[in-house]
Structure 1
Amino acid sequence: MGSFEEILVKKHLKRTKARVMILKVLEKSLPLTAGEVYEAVRGKDMRLSLSTVYINCEALAENGLLLRSTMLADGLIRYEYAHGTPSHHAVCLSCHRIFPVDVGLQSDYAEVLDEEYGFEAAEPRVEIYGYCRDCRATGKDRAFKEKLRSANA
């Protein structure tokens, strides 16, 4: 893969310092909100604003360089670098940590979705929700489950 500058040129996007910094931050990270990306790049360029980071994340997502998702109930959009291979995540419902996981879909999942449901799959991403080892060990999962039961009662 070429440099981020070359990638931006191939996508007919301006090669700005902000876009290159955003891509560098997200290339090796888990999905981040625009605010989290802003915090990561702010030290490198104090002139950048949160709105600049958000606008650039959106532009990069629109052009296929970033993936956009809303994994958690907080409704915040998270961005991750589009590596070209499906990225799957486990999301802790208690502490909200996101873990990369290596799980596979059955090889013919796209055909099954199309034949059985008339659904054409675009990009395969799996998000598995549950409780991480740390939350289970400290009992935070039980506290969270009890809170959910109370809210639904």
Structure 2
Amino acid sequence: MDEFIDNKMIFKKYKIKNTEQRNIVLDILKREKKPLTAEEIFMKARKKDKNINLSTIYRTINIFVSKGIAIKLNIERENKSMFQLNMIDHQHYIRCISCNKKISIDICPIIGYEYFLEENTDFHIIGHNLELYGYCSKCKDKKQ
């Protein structure tokens, strides 16, 4: 999703009521290049609207995910969810489980397999998540 697309157009396209809080959350997701937790979105939103509350953030994110505006990434090891704008050029990451350093993977390794699965199953795939984790070079050296 292009960050320059007007929020009004997005809300109209997905038949979502246009509110100040939803605009704030959408603007945050548009600006960020990495996934954020709901709490991180909340902290950024508080800079724009001191009265916004965490439950509003969760409701807004859930609406965005249900409509396909945002995607939810489940971080199994940390038992938390992260969110990012649903972009055609989405990103995957390698994450160090020791220091939490994240490195972006430039090419999606799943996209070809996704097309293969669609052709060979009766399933319409609308997205995917990929999380690779291990130890970065600094943390790996500390373990040895």
TM-score normalised by the chain length of structure 1? 0.76
Q: Which has the larger radius of gyration?
A: 1
Q: 1:10 to 1:88 in 2, by over 3 A?
A: same
Q: Is the 8 A contact 2:91 2:108 kept in 1?
A: no
Give 1:43-82 correspondences, 5 Å limit.
43-82=47-86
Q: Which moved more, 1:81-90 or 1:15-24?
A: 81-90
Q: Is 1:90 equivalent to 2:105 in the alignment?
A: no
Kindly state the Cα deviation for residue 98 of structure 1 after the two structures are TM-superposed: 3.2
**Aligned twin of 1:27:** 30
Q: Is the 8 A contact 2:41 2:57 kept in 1?
A: yes
Post-superposition Cα deviations, 1:6-39, rounded to whole Å, max 9, x if no partner, equal 2111111011111111111122321111111000
Q: Percent identity?
A: 24
Selected match of 1:130 from 116, 134, 144: 134
TM-score normalised by the chain length of structure 2? 0.80
Give ranges in structure 2 of 5+ residues lacking alignment.
none
SS of equivalent to 1:67? strand
Selected match of 2:9 from 6, 13, 27: 6
1:113, 1:86 → 2: CA distance? Answer: 19
